[in-house]
Chain A
């Protein structure tokens, strides 16, 4: 015969409470105060720590890029160029090094960085000359410049 409900002395009791608690506490062992020992406080701290680390992983990329840009700016100012001029002229000369590489080169390969700065400076001057044009007056009636002598 089939017994549908078990007798009252058979209960399902939790036997690995210790290990479930240790799973959370192992991430809190290096915290300060009671939250490295007491489960109730540790759960909250560990949860906040995980959420902060997820968000920080996204912001690390922004932070590192800003750091590289600061370093490139400092290095290019040593060679007499400002950062926007340096980067824009490098891109116009079809050199596609990213900011991480240029920052690393500025730290570990100063001669290479100097040559890159010279390249950017030369491209900048060529750009100025191209912007000035031939120096002649434009044709047409309404765009003719009137000379007062």
Chain B
């Protein structure tokens, strides 16, 4: 059969590695990372956390400011549960989309509950005698991330 422009697909042909060998390699890597976590051979950990409808990249001793109210008193310890990614220097654990709660633990403390600076909201139409001025003050909360811990429960 003659070769036309549609005989082969427009992307280059790819060959995936052997599934059995791949499974062995994956198991080896997982074991290695588990051992590393168990022995504690990591430096500073960073995590990507989904909190207050935003994603934050946090490390320990980090300050975070949210533009809303948290129903916790100043000085309360909080555990953040929606962790998307945890990483150290040599390895990263990517969640699909979240990581398990028995794998990562992120602790934070509420430090401050203040209001934002007065933001001015003004609308004006020229030649129509229309202007409105509103001062918006949002409540803010400041959190300090205390620790990020990981446990060797990979499989």
Contacts and interface: CB of A to CB of B under 8 A. Distances in A.
Contacts, number: 69
B: interface residue count bin: 20 to 34
Given A129-B16, A132-B9, A148-B1, A100 B55 contact: yes
A125 interface: yes
A51 B46 contact: no
Contacts of A95: 84, 94-97
Contacts of A108: 57
Q: What DSSP secondary structure best describes chain A's contact surface?
A: helix
A111 interface: yes
Contact of B16 (A98, A100, A115, A125): A125
Contacts of A54: 120-123
Contact of A104 (B9, B57, B120): B57
A4 to B, nearest CB: 35
B41 to A, nearest CB: 16
A147 B121 contact: no
A101 B55 contact: yes
Contact of A115 (B9, B94, B96): B94
Interface of B: 1, 9, 11, 14, 16, 46, 48, 55, 57, 84-85, 87, 89, 92, 94-97, 119-124, 131, 133
Given A51-B123, A101-B84, A147-B1, 11 more contacts: A50-B120, A50-B121, A50-B124, A53-B122, A54-B120, A54-B122, A93-B96, A94-B96, A96-B84, A116-B94, A126-B16
Interface of A: 47-48, 50-51, 53-54, 57, 93-98, 100-101, 104-105, 108-109, 111-112, 115-116, 119, 125-126, 128-129, 131-132, 147-148
